[in-house]
Structures are given as C-alpha cells and as structure tokens.
Structure 1
Amino acid sequence: MDYRPFYCRMILKMNIDCNGCYQRISRALLQMRVFSLAELDSHMIDKRHSRVTVTGAFSPQDVAIKIRKRTNRRVEILDVREASPADQDRGPGYMP
C-alpha cells in the first residue's frame, strides 16, 4: 500500500490523564513539526475529551505511529478528513 501525504485534518483519541501526559503529547507533536518529513501546520489538544487534532500535509498512519512511539500511549484514529490550507484561518473550532 502506498500512503502519500496529503493536506488533511486528523482527530486522534488518546488517554490524557494529567498535565504530564498533556505536555508529553505536546512535546512529541512539536518535535515532529521540527524534525520530521511530515508538514504539521497546527495541532490542538482537547484534554477534557481526550482528543488530539492535527492539521497538515502528512500520511495519517505514519503520524499516528510516530506519536504512539514517542509518547508510549495508545492512539486511536477517529477521523481523517481532507482539508485545504485556507481552512486553518477559520479558527480552532472550525470543522468542515
């Protein structure tokens, strides 16, 4: 199977129990933005609902695997939608 990067918005379900878990996930995402081939434009961590939203040009399976390895947390992909870079300007709560 060939997984090519495309601009998308992916919603992940992760176990975020405490502030340490939140910081670990945030740090992993920020490191991926700097050192990875995946172009992550933005991310949002919703601690209350244990969800992480990532937007950018990447392969969803690869990003989920990298997050799982870096955080040592179970990752479940809930939704992957194709998005356009213009959708990023509409605010953090906007979902097409």
Structure 2
Amino acid sequence: MKKLQAKMDRLLNKFDGSWKVLPLKVQYKYLLIFFLGYALLTMGMILKVVHDTRKSNQGIIIEHIENPAIKKNESDTSLWDSLLMIKKNKTNERK
C-alpha cells in the first residue's frame, strides 16, 4: 500500500510540475475547456431528467419491496434434492 501511495505521489508531483511549467494563458484555456465540458455534461443530464419526468404521465408508484430469497419459482423447486427439503408432518400440527 505504501508503494502505491509513493507512486501516486510521484505521478501527481510530475503532473503538478508540468502544469506549472505551462504559460498562464494555456492554463486558462485548459481550465476553460474542462469547465465548459463539465457544464455541458451537467446541463445535458439535467435536461434529460426534465424530459423523462415530463414524458411520463404516471405518478410515482410506491410498492412494497419483495425479498427475492422468499420468492418461490416453479423452476427453482425442481433443482432442490427432495431428501434435503424439510417437509411438515400434518399429524404434529395444531388444530
């Protein structure tokens, strides 16, 4: 873990040094390009969410969450070995 941290520190120091070597105008251009890209992605996602919510006329459907472990499928029962299944004895049940 210490080796990985040392490698990351060296890499970040290398990138930081090469960033500081760039002229301020070039740094400003890179910063502006990255900010505009981030802003475009953010606006695109916001517009997509707004479009999707306006498109659906349904309200929010609130349902109970079903536990998939409890759900029994017909095909799953055939996979179980019948000797391993616990079967209830009807004679021992309460009336």
Superposition TM-score tier, normalisation by shorter sequence: under 0.3
Q: If the length of structure 1 is used for normalisation, what is the TM-score?
A: 0.22
More strand by percentage? 1
- Structure with more contact order per residue of length (Cα contacts < 8 Å, sep ≥ 6): 1
More helix by percentage? 2
Q: If the length of structure 2 is used for normalisation, what is the TM-score?
A: 0.22
